[in-house]
């Protein structure tokens, strides 16, 4: 385990002005806080934060980051409080440590929701201070290095989370080495057999190609030197997971891979990059389609380099990466290479260079010189403010992390980076949410194209807009970016809420009119303290959804309103009447104002949205539906709406006509109950008095027989179809159970049940 003075020495090597007293105090405090805690490996727990701090020193981070690495588990795993950290180490360090503390004591319904909420908190903290991310990645890296000590049932979950979130996040932040190590450690536990096989094959290949690799490396160095270019040429080999991923994505065998080995050329300046490229391309033949210039068009994570593949000596493909030393540093360390927070006195302009040649940018200057990778992260965090649920946020973040990039342009030349497979709709939302919401068409490279067209590198995309447009819900299945999906869902929810609000306003208009009052939103606003909603629109939407009764709203506005309005002028629902609120096309849930209670005359009904006039509602024949049943409405043109229990066999007839299915629910007034029709089938002994016994059971239990039909099945048995009236499903089930207990009854069941 690294000693106290060794940690301080590691920091002072790259930062001679380090606050040694602060580092010593944090070392001692963390060691005492974790006390005798033991890790799964059997090592003292303090060895973990110490290793995290060591990883951070490899990234040459500032004193505060090293201190946070030492303290990052104190609030979560010891009795230490945030207030105590603030007092001893300052508010800034306390804030960083708190950002790394997982959310607990939340009533989350699933492990996925817990994961999403912790990621949400982490990204919010990262957006405020990028050092949170660097410490978190170092923490995850050491945990993955010691994952073999964790119980087997936990390994797969931790490795999967690392592969899905933290490795891609490191990649998006440009931390290539960190990403590769996290991926390979995860791969080793998620697919140990494939990892072992590929590792063995790579070792065999390295040994068999050793001489060829040495020859290419030497040949490249000599050619650059002959042209006066100072260049460092190093070999590189693909990691096991990178090989596995390419085999999976392209359905290739190991023998078919041609770029397992590559070479990296480090030169002094940008001009030397292109000179070196010219030497390579004039010496060997290039492989078509394998040239990429990330210097003129950097990746979103600030990665800059030239990639090319040539047919080198021995007729083998040779993959080359050509970059400057600064580009290489950013490619390996990503956002950590920007040294945004190192403690150096910066002068006017906010930029300074220390004795070691490291660039330092003040916090103020950082806002103006923010890296593209960090800008992407801030855009991702914008989704947090949109009210998505945890699972949606996790889904969107994974979408943003995993996708390869295509680069497109606006007509004014603005570069837009999108995931591969993106459409013009994704492009529109990437430009601005308002542009996406009002998008009605597009031109790609000057030609009008469908909005479902997949974009390719270099496309110029022009979005055609209309202020009358609202994004269709179907767009959600077309887009691939989390930002677009989030915006479309948000717009859909807003449209749904607007429809519910409109319906609620209609319902209250009629309810207040029936009660002899005039509905006014100003009166409703004054009554809000007596209602469970916080705003007028919330009340209207709740009424529209059937979550709030109109009578309750009237009583809140007019306290002298009686419990129930007068019964004069009402007529009873007969099964042939009733009116519905909205069509299924809105995608909403509805209530049926006429089912199970009294309704006003036809003129008081709420019209169906998208249809003219009022549609009649009736119960299905042969059994109908009872309060307690889950029910569904079927819209039949020219006939109105028929209500079926959800288990009714008759619904099979409408399997191919799902657009006319309506979600409905009961609206029963407990103060004014009504009977509902039901049908049961009874198989009983054919002897005198059988029907009388069955009728007696039904009558004694408050059932009312409407009709009886008998069908003789055999000499000794016959079947009865009994139509009766009951209060609800529970009432019917009690009658069925009691009839079944009669000695003369062989079987009894509900028709449609």
Among 245, 241, 220, 225, CA closest to 318: 220
One-character DSSP codes across 163-228? IIIIHHHHHHTT-HHHHHHHHHHHHHHHSHHHHHHHHHHHHHHHHHTHHHHHHHHHHHHHHHHHTT
82: which strand partners?
A: none
- DSSP, collapsed to helix, strand or coil, labels residue 677 as strand
Return phi, psi of residue 283, to 5°.
-95, -40
What are 362's two structure tokens? 């003040």
Sheet holding 661-663, edge to edge: 617-619, 640-645, 631-636, 661-663
Buried b (16+ CB within 10 A) or exposed e, 68-96: bbbbbbbbebbebeeeebbeebeeebbbb
| Residue of 58, 76, 210, 576 with catalytic role | 76
- DSSP, collapsed to helix, strand or coil, labels residue 418 as strand
Contact 694, 685 (CB under 8 A): no
- The answer for residues whose C-beta is within 8 angstroms of residue 190's C-beta and 6 or more apart is 156, 159, 160, 163
What are 666's two structure tokens? 């009961």
CA distances to 76, 86, 555, 563 from 82, rounded to whole Å, are 10, 6, 48, 53
Q: Across 342-500, where does the E strand assignment appear?
A: 351-353, 359-361, 405-409, 415-419, 439-444, 447-449, 461-465
Indicate if the alpha-carbon torsion angle 152, 156, 161, 162 is positive or negative.
positive
Run of H or E including 318? strand 317-324
Distance CA 733, CA 191 (A): 54
Q: Strand 640-645 vs strand 617-619: parallel, antiparallel, or unpaired? A: parallel
Among 93, 64, 3, 77, CA closest to 33: 77
What is the Cβ-side half-sphere exposure of residue 142, based on CA atoms within 13 angstroms?
A: 21
Among 21, 23, 25, CA closest to 7: 23
What are 111's two structure tokens? 């492990």
Question: Is 622 an annotated catalytic residue?
Answer: no
Angle at 127 (CA atoms; ends 63, 330), nearest 5 degrees: 65
- The answer for residues whose C-beta is within 8 angstroms of residue 734's C-beta and 6 or more apart is 701
Run of H or E including 749? strand 745-750
Return phi, psi of residue 159, to 5°.
-65, -40
Contact 559, 531 (CB under 8 A): no
Number of C-beta neighbours around residue 50 at 10 A: 23
One-character DSSP codes across 681-736? EEEEE-STTHHHHHHHHHHHTT-EEEEEEEEE-SSSEEEEEEEEEESSHHHHHHHH
Q: Strand 631-636 vs strand 359-361: parallel, antiparallel, or unpaired? A: unpaired
Distance CA 497, CA 470 (A): 14
Among 578, 680, 590, CA closest to 632: 590
Distance CA 265, CA 232 (A): 6
Question: Is 76 an annotated catalytic residue?
Answer: yes
Contact 427, 451 (CB under 8 A): no
What is the Cβ-side half-sphere exposure of residue 43, based on CA atoms within 13 angstroms?
A: 15
| Residue of 9, 20, 43, 77 with catalytic role | 77
What are 524's two structure tokens? 């409703």
What is the set of active-site residues? 76-77
């Amino acid at each position: 385990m690294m000693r106290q003075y060794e940690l301080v020495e590691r920091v002072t090597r790259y930062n001679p002005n380090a606050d040694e007293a602060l580092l010593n105090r944090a070392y001692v405090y963390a060691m005492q806080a974790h006390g005798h805690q033991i890790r799964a490996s059997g090592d003292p727990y303090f060895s973990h934060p110490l290793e995290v701090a060591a990883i951070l020193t490899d990234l040459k981070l500032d004193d505060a980051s090293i201190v946070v690495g030492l303290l990052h588990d104190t609030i979560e795993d010891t009795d230490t409080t945030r207030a105590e950290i603030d007092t001893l180490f300052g508010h800034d360090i306390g804030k960083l440590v708190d950002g790394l503390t997982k959310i607990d004591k939340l009533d989350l319904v699933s492990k996925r929701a817990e994961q999403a909420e912790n990621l949400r908190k982490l990204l919010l903290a990262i957006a405020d201070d990028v050092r949170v991310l660097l410490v978190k990645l170092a923490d995850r890296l050491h945990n993955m290095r010691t994952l073999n000590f964790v119980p087997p049932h936990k390994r797969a979950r931790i490795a999967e989370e690392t592969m899905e979130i933290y490795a891609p996040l490191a990649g998006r932040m440009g931390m290539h080495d960190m990403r590769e190590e996290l991926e390979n450690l995860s791969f080793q536990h998620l697919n140990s057999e494939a990892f072992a096989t590929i590792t063995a094959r790579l070792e065999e290949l390295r040994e068999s190609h050793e001489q060829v690799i040495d020859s290419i490396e030497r040949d490249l160095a000599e050619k650059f030197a002959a042209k006066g270019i100072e260049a460092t040429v190093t070999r590189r080999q693909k990691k096991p997971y990178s090989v596995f991923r390419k085999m999976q994505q392209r359905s290739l065998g190991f023998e078919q891979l041609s770029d397992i080995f590559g070479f990296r050329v480090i030169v002094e300046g940008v001009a030397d990059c292109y000179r070196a490229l010219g030497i390579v391309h004039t010496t060997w033949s290039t492989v078509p389609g394998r040239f990429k210039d990330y210097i003129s068009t950097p990746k979103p994570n600030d990665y800059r380099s030239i990639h090319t593949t040539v047919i080198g000596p021995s007729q083998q493909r040779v993959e080359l990466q050509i970059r400057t030393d600064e580009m290489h540093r950013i490619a390996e360390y990503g956002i950590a290479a920007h040294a945004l927070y190192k403690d150096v006195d910066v002068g006017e302009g906010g930029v300074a260079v220390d004795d070691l040649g490291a660039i330092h940018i003040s916090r103020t200057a950082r806002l103006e010189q923010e890296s593209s990778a960090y800008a992407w992260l801030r855009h991702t965090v914008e989704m947090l403010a949109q009210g998505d649920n945890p699972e949606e946020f996790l889904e969107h973040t994974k979408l943003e992390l995993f996708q390869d990039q295509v680069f497109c342009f606006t007509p004014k030349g603005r570069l837009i980076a999108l995931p591969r497979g993106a459409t013009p709709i994704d492009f529109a939302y990437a430009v601005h949410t308002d542009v996406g919401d009002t998008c009605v068409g597009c031109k790609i490279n000057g030609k009008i194209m469908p909005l479902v067209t997949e974009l390719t590198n270099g496309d110029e995309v022009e979005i055609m807009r209309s202020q009358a447009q609202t994004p269709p819900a179907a767009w959600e299945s077309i887009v691939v970016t989390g930002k677009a999906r989030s915006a479309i869902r948000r717009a859909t929810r807003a449209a749904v809420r607007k429809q519910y609000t409109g319906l609620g306003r209609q319902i209250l208009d009629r309810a207040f009119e029936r009660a002899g009052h005039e509905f006014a939103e100003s009166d409703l606003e004054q009554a809000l303290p007596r209602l469970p909603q916080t705003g007028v629109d919330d009340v209207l939407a709740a009424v529209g959804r059937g979550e709030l009764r109109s009578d309750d709203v009237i009583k809140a506005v007019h306290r002298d309103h009686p419990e129930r309005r007068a019964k004069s002028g009402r007529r009873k629902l007969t099964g042939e009447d009733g009116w519905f609120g909205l069509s299924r096309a809105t995608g909403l849930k509805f209530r049926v104002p006429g089912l199970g209670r009294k309704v006003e005359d036809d003129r008081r009904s709420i019209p169906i949205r998208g249809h003219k006039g009022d549609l009649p509602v009736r119960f299905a024949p042969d059994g109908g539906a009872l309060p307690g049943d889950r029910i569904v409405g079927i819209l039949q043109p020219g006939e109105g709406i028929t209500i079926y229990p959800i288990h009714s066999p008759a619904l099979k007839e409408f399997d191919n006509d799902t657009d006319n299915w309506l979600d409905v629910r009961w609206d029963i007034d407990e103060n004014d109950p009504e009977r509902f029709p039901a049908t049961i089938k009874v198989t009983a002994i054919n002897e005198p008095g059988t029907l009388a016994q069955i009728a007696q059971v039904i009558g004694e239990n408050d059932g009312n027989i409407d009709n009886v039909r008998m069908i003789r099945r055999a000499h000794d048995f016959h079947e009865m179809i009994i139509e009766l009236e009951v209060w609800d499903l529970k009432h019917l089930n009690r009658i069925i159970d009691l009839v079944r207990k009669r000695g003369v009854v062989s079987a009894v069941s509900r028709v449609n049940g």
